[in-house]
Structure 1
C-alpha cells in the first residue's frame, strides 16, 4: 500500500492583514502544518458514505440485490485489475487515514479525552468493517512514515486490536474532561452531536459486532460470549441510540453532490442497474418455494400468476395470509420497491397497501422467476427527478436527505439473541429476538416519507400511521411475540431483514460464518466436500440445520440457479473481497504474495476463508 496523506485545508477567513503575514503562518507552503483536532471530525465521519458505495458489491453477494452493473460480484468472481468493491479500503487508509490518526494523536497530546475517545470509536468501527470485508490487512505498518511496502496482519490480530481500540474509546470517554469545547465537537459530529454517553454505547456496539462474527467458532461460548453479552448491556438501549450519519441533502440545489445520500435520486448510483433480488422478495412476502427433492425444480400449483409455485410449508418471516391479523409484515411496503399504486392513492388504507405486488430479479438480470424487478424507487426504468412522472428526491433510505445507517439497536439485539441461542439460553434468546424485531419496525418507520396522493412523483407507498398500526399487529402475531418455536433461522433471517440493505456487509459476515448453508462434512467446506468445479451442494430447506431457508447460490442444483462460477474459483463461492487494486496490486505485491493459505495474487484469492469463519484456527 503506497503511503499517502490527506490534509484538510483551512478556509482563508479573517486574513485582513495582507499576504505576507498569511505566508508566515506555516512552514509548509502546500498545506497547514497544524490543524485543530476538532476540524478533522466532520470530514472523517462523512467518509462513511464509502460503506454504501461497497454495498453495490456486497448487496448482490447476499442476495439482497441483483445487478446489471457489478455482475462480477453477483457471480462471486472479480479480477485483479479493478478498484470496484474497494471503497471501504480507500475510506480506512486514505479518506479517514491520516486525518483520523492526526485527530487522535493531537487530542491525546492535548488531553482532549472526549475528542480522542470519539476518534478511537470511529477507528474501531472502520477497521472492523475493513477486516470483515477483506480479511488480512496491513495494520501495524499502515501509518508508519517512510515505508514503501506494508506487511499484512492476520485477522485474529486485527480483531483483537479492534476491540482494544473500542475499549480505549470507552475509557477515554468515561474520563473527566473539563475542557470547554463549546460547539467545536457538537457542530462537527454528524453522528451523535458530541453526546459522550451515546459514543460510549457506540463503542460497545462495535465490540458486539466484532464478537458476533465469531459465533460459529468452537471456543465462542467459553472465550467470547460473555464479553459480547456484557458489551450489549452497555450498548444501545433503544432505537433512539441508532448510529446514523446525518446528511444535509438539498438534491439538485445542493452545493456539492455528496451533500446528498449516495442512494438518492440526485446521485445516479442506485438507478435501475441495481434492483431487489428474487430471494429478498421471497423472504419479505413469505413466498419461499418448495423444491422437488428429486429434480430441484419448483412445483407448479394453481393458475395464479403471482403465486404459480407451491410454497414451503415453513415460512420464517411472514406468509401469504395477509388478511389475518399479524401475518402481514409491513416492512415489505417500505424496504422493497413495487410498481403497484404509482399515483400513491389510499396510502392509509390497509387493504390497498396489502394488495401491492412485489417482483425480484435474478443475479444479473431484472427478469426474475415470476416477473420483472423494479428499481428501488418503484418503476421499471432508470430513476429521474424531472418530468410529469418522476421519483422526486427518492424514498425511505433511498432518499437524497436520508442518513447513512451505521448500526442499530435492532442489530445489537439480534447479535445478543444469537449468542444466547449458542449458550442454550433459549428464553433469553427469545426476549432479545422480540426486541430486535420490534426495534427494526421502529427504525424502519422513522424514514417513511409518503408520496403525494394522486401524483406520480416519488415517495413511500404507505403512511407512518398505517405502518405503525400494521407493525403492532405483526409484532403481536405468530412470527414475533406469538412465535412458539424459535429457531436459529428465525434469529438470523430476521437480522437479515433488519439489515436490508444498508447492512449488507454484516449480512455477508453471517452468511460466510455459516458457510452459505453448504452441505459438507467436517469443520468447513472445501473442493470435493461441498462443491466441485461445476456444482455446489447446499442444504435443503427441510434440513433443520439450514439457517437461511430458501437461500441457494448460483451453482446450487435448484430451479433458477443451476449455474456455475468462473473456473478460476474452483467451484467455491467468494469469502472475501480483494484489496483495492490501485493500492495493493500496484504497490504492495510482495506482501500479498506471502499470504496463507491462499496467496493474495492467486486467481482464487477471493475464495480464501477468513479467520472468523473457521471454527478453529486458519490452516497453515
Structure 2
C-alpha cells in the first residue's frame, strides 16, 4: 500500500502584527503535527459507513439482494476488473481509520488515557475482523511501518489471533482505573456508546465472539475455540439495548452534505454509487421470509407448478424453517417480513393497525441482475417499482426502517451474538443450551427490528413502514410462542443459521457471507473441502438438495446450480468455482503492491480466479501446501 499524505489548505485571516506567530504553531506548515486524541474519534466511527458500501457486493453474494449495473457481477461471483468497487472496507481500515486510529491509540496510551485507548483498540479489533473476513489475507505487521513503498501480506491464520489480542487489550484498558477527567471529550465524540465503558467492554467481547464463530466448521473448534466463544458471549450483549450502532447527523434534503444521511436513505438515492433502484430484494429472501421455499423435482431440477395460484404458482417444500403460508394460525407469520422486506401492497398505508391486513401483503423478489423475478417484479427497498423520490403527491419520504435517511449504521447486535452462541452449543452437542440461546436470539432480533419502525401516514402515499410498532409487537409475541420458535420441532443447524441470516438481513450481509462460505454454500462434495470435479465443473455447481438433512441453507442454490432459474455459468475465469473472498482495493494493492500480492498461496493474488481462493477460516484444517 502506498502511503498517502493529504494536504489541507486552511485560509488564515491575519490581523495586525507579524504573521510568524501564526505560522509557528506547527513544524509542518501544510497540516497539523498534532491533534488531540479524542478529536480523532468521531471521524473514525463515521468511517464505518464504508461497511454498507461493501454490502453492495456481499448482498448479491448471499442472495439477500439482486443488483443491476456494475455490481451485478457479484451475483455471478466475479469482480469488476480495474475498479475500487467492493474495496471500501479495505479503504476504511487502511486509510479512513488507518493512522488516525493508530494516533488515537498511541497518544492515549502515552497519556495514560486508558478509556480512550480501550475504545480505540476495540474499534481496531472490529475493523480488522471485518477486513480479514472479506479480503482474507492482508498486510498487518507492516501496515503502518514508515517509509515502506510495498508491504508484505500476512495470512489470515496470523491475523485472527491478533484481532482477539487487540480485543482483550481493549477490555483490559477499559476495566483499568482511569484518573483522566474527560468531561465531554469522549461522550461528545462517541457516536456509538457516548462513552459508556460497560457497553464498550461488551462490544469488545462481541468482536471475540464474531471472530471465533467463523471457525465453527474447523475440526478443532470444539477443543480449541468453543469455550472461549461461550465465555465471551456470556460477557457480551444480553439485550438489544447493547446493540452497536453508529448514530448519524441526517437532515435529508436540508443536510449541508448528502453524506450526512444514511447510505440507504432516499436523500442519497440519486447520487452515483448509492442504493436507489440498483439493488433490490432477491427471490431467495422472499422465499425464506414468507415460507415459500419451493420443492424441486430432483429428476429435472424444476419447480413443481401449482394450478390456480397466481401469487405463488409453485409447490412449496414441506419443511419451512422461518415461516409458512398458514397465515390464519397464530405464530405462523413472521412480522419481520413486513419491515425488512418491501412490498407494493397498500401504497396509501391503510389499515396499518389491523394485523390481518398486514398479513395479506404480497412480496416479490428479483433474480440476480434484474428486478424481474420468476413470479413478479421486486420493488425498491422503500416499496415502489420506480426509482425513489422524496417529493410530489406520491413519494418515498425519507424512507423506511434501516432504509431511512436518519437510520443509524448497524455494526453488530445482541441477536447476532446469541446466534453465535447457539451455534457453538450446537456444535458441542449441548442442544438444550443451544435452543435457549436460539430463542433469546430471535427475541433480540424482534426487539431490534421493531425499534426502527416508522409507520407511514394513513391515506398518504408518502413513505414509511407499512406496519405499526404495536401490531408488529403483537405479531412478534405470537411468532415467538409459535411452532418456529417456542415449539420448534427437529431443531437443527438450519434453524440457527437461517434465523441468523434473517437477523442479519441486509445490514449484516458480509457476516452472513462468512457463514455461507464456512459451510461451502451447501455444495455436494467429498473429503474436507470442495474443488473442481468435486463440487463444481466449469458450467455447474452441484449443491445438496433441500431434503438432505446436512444442508444448512434450505432453498439456497447458486446461480449455476442444478435447478430452475439457476442455469447461468460463472465467468469462465472462475474455472467453475464460487467466490470465497473479495479482492483488495485495486487503487492500493494492484497499483502499488502487486509484487506482494503475487506471492500469495494457494492462488496468487494476481490470478484471474484469486477471488475463488478458499480462506483459512473455511478450511477444516490448515491451508493446503
Give me the TM-score of the superposition, normalised by structure 1: 0.98
- Are the counterparts in 2 of residues 113 and 173 from structure 1 also a CA contact under 8 Å? yes
- Are the counterparts in 1 of residues 91 and 585 from structure 2 also a CA contact under 8 Å? yes
> Following superposition of structure 1 onto structure 2, how do residues 136-151 of structure 1 map, counting pairs within 5 Å?
136-151=137-152
Cα 1:258/1:16, change in 2 over 3 Å:
farther
CA deviations 1:402-424 (Å, max 9, x no partner) are 00000000000000000000000
SS state of the match for residue 66, structure 2? strand
Which of residues 576, 580, 586 in structure 2 aligns to 1:581? 586
Following the alignment from structure 2 to structure 1, what is the Cα–Cα distance between the partners of residues 537 and 307? 36
Following the alignment from structure 1 to structure 2, what is the Cα–Cα distance between the partners of residues 558 and 240? 42
Give 1:378's aligned residue.
383
Which of residues 455, 463, 476 in structure 2 aligns to 1:458? 463
SS state of the match for residue 245, structure 2? strand
Following the alignment from structure 1 to structure 2, what is the Cα–Cα distance between the partners of residues 17 and 338? 67
- Are the counterparts in 1 of residues 425 and 431 from structure 2 also a CA contact under 8 Å? yes
Which of residues 563, 566, 576 in structure 1 aligns to 2:568? 563
Give 1:55's aligned residue.
55
> Following superposition of structure 1 onto structure 2, how do residues 60-459 of structure 1 map, counting pairs within 5 Å?
60-69=60-69, 70-268=71-269, 269-459=274-464
Return the offset for 1:27: 1.1
SS state of the match for residue 266, structure 1? helix
Q: Note the residue ranges of structure 1 that are not aligned, 5 or more in a row.
A: none
- Are the counterparts in 2 of residues 9 and 32 from structure 1 also a CA contact under 8 Å? no
Question: Which stretches of structure 1, 4 residues or longer, exceed 4 Å deviation after superposition?
Answer: 5-19
Give 1:602's aligned residue.
607
- Are the counterparts in 1 of residues 597 and 605 from structure 2 also a CA contact under 8 Å? yes
CA deviations 1:57-83 (Å, max 9, x no partner) are 110000000011211111111143110
- Are the counterparts in 1 of residues 9 and 30 from structure 2 also a CA contact under 8 Å? no
Cα 1:14/1:397, change in 2 over 3 Å:
farther
Following the alignment from structure 2 to structure 1, what is the Cα–Cα distance between the partners of residues 529 and 22? 63
Give 2:524's aligned residue.
519
Return the offset for 1:484: 2.7
Give 2:3's aligned residue.
3
Cα 1:315/1:12, change in 2 over 3 Å:
farther
Give 2:22's aligned residue.
22
Cα 1:352/1:12, change in 2 over 3 Å:
farther
- The Cα RMSD (Å) is 1.5
CA deviations 1:213-265 (Å, max 9, x no partner) are 00000000000000000100110111000000001110011112221100000
- Are the counterparts in 2 of residues 377 and 395 from structure 1 also a CA contact under 8 Å? yes
- Are the counterparts in 1 of residues 326 and 333 from structure 2 also a CA contact under 8 Å? yes
- Are the counterparts in 1 of residues 113 and 180 from structure 2 also a CA contact under 8 Å? yes
Cα 1:55/1:18, change in 2 over 3 Å:
farther
Following the alignment from structure 1 to structure 2, what is the Cα–Cα distance between the partners of residues 284 and 15? 66
SS state of the match for residue 268, structure 2? coil
CA deviations 1:462-481 (Å, max 9, x no partner) are 00000000000000000001
Return the offset for 1:576: 0.3
Return the offset for 1:21: 2.5
Residues 205-214 or 254-263, more deviating = 254-263
- Are the counterparts in 2 of residues 5 and 97 from structure 1 also a CA contact under 8 Å? no
- Are the counterparts in 2 of residues 278 and 360 from structure 1 also a CA contact under 8 Å? yes
Give me the TM-score of the superposition, normalised by structure 2: 0.98
Return the offset for 1:13: 11
SS state of the match for residue 145, structure 2? coil
Q: Note the residue ranges of structure 2 that are not aligned, 5 or more in a row.
A: none
Cα 1:527/1:145, change in 2 over 3 Å:
same
Cα 1:59/1:576, change in 2 over 3 Å:
same
SS state of the match for residue 290, structure 1? coil
CA deviations 1:486-530 (Å, max 9, x no partner) are 100000000000000000000000000000000000000000100
- Are the counterparts in 2 of residues 250 and 400 from structure 1 also a CA contact under 8 Å? yes
Following the alignment from structure 1 to structure 2, what is the Cα–Cα distance between the partners of residues 128 and 190? 20
